[in-house]
């Protein structure tokens, strides 16, 4: 589990297939050590602070092992940081990690807080109106880290698992419940029981759980 690319970028005007968007999705690989704070990497930012960024979503992570799949689906060679991720990593997929898992990366300590939810900006970048659905249906979403201990991080750093969350709710499982099994009340409760779950995903699952209670399930 290695950081194959560390990617940083501030929001700027981009033109995707004739559509102008102010976004931080087109991040650039950097080779020097970068400071990771509670709010993310120094020099990095997001264009839509309502849906991205903040302490629960300080670092976006995506597996380079998914790149060949998307190159086949999209019929293109993907650019670096193709999904707007800060960390392009190897050997770390959604089935392999749990919400609440704690990792050491460089001098920093981070924790998985939620799956990444694909957005319309990603769809605009590749000119595919069905991109959000494609990502969700594939399960290849990536995920977010919150920062427990600040420190410097650089390309080539290993991701060292320090603590596996005892609830064992994988990123894939949380994705399946929210996007495909919203009537699975036991699954909803299982995800909600994870203390490390981000505030935004807590709200989403609380709404689902409320419906379960109203229906007596």
Summarised one tens digit per residue, pLDDT across range 120-179 is: 899 999 999 999 999 999 999 999 999 999 999 999 999 999 999 999 999 999 999 999
Number of domains in the chain: 1
Residue 138 lies in a domain: yes
Residue 196 lies in a domain: no
Which residues make Cβ contacts (< 8 Å) with residue 82, sequence separation at least 6? 62, 67, 70
Q: Is the pLDDT of residue 191 over 70?
A: yes
Distance of CA 53 to CAs 60, 80, 198, Å?
Answer: 9, 20, 12
Contacts 24+ apart (CB under 8 A), 75-79: 76/126, 79/26
Sheet of strand 2-8: strand arrangement? 28-30, 2-8, 87-90, 59-63, 143-149, 108-115, 102-105, 159-163
What is the band of 54 on the pLDDT scale with cuts at 50, 70, 90? confident
**b/e map 45-83, b = 16+ CB within 10 Å:** bbbbeeebbbebbbbbbbbbebbeebeeeeeeeeeebbb
Residue 56 lies in a domain: yes
What pLDDT score was predicted for residue 167? 96
Residue 32 lies in a domain: yes
- Global pTM reads 0.92
What is the band of 59 on the pLDDT scale with cuts at 50, 70, 90? very high
Residue 85 lies in a domain: yes
Residue 69 lies in a domain: yes
Chain segment 6-47, per-residue pLDDT in tens: 999 998 999 888 889 899 899 999 999 999 999 999 999 776
Range of the domain at 29: 2-165
> For the domain that residue 159 is a member of, what is the CATH number?
2.40.33.20
Residue 151 lies in a domain: yes
Residue 112 lies in a domain: yes
Q: Is the pLDDT of residue 48 over 80?
A: no
User: Average pLDDT over the chain, rounded to whole?
Assistant: 93
């Amino acid at each position: 589990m290695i950081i194959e690319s560390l990617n940083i970028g501030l929001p700027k005007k981009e033109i995707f297939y004739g559509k102008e968007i102010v976004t931080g999705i087109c991040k650039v690989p950097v080779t020097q050590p970068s400071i990771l704070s509670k709010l993310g990497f120094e020099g990095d930012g997001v264009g839509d602070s309502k849906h991205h960024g903040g302490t629960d979503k300080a670092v976006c992570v995506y597996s380079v092992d998914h790149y060949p799949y998307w190159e086949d689906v999209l019929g293109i060679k993907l650019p670096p940081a193709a999904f707007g991720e800060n960390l392009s990593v190897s050997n770390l997929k959604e089935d392999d990690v749990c919400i609440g898992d704690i990792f050491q990366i460089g001098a920093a300590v981070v924790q998985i807080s939620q799956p990444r939810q694909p957005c319309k900006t990603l769809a605009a970048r590749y000119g595919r109106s069905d991109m959000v659905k494609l990502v969700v249906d594939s399960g290849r979403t990536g995920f977010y880290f919150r920062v427990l201990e600040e420190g410097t991080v650089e390309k080539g750093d290993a991701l060292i698992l320090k603590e596996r969350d005892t609830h064992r709710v994988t990123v894939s499982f949380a994705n399946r419940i929210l996007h495909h099994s919203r009537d699975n009340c036991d699954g909803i409760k299982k995800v909600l029981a994870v203390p490390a779950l981000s505030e935004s995903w807590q709200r989403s699952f609380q709404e689902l759980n409320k419906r379960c209670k109203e229906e007596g399930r």
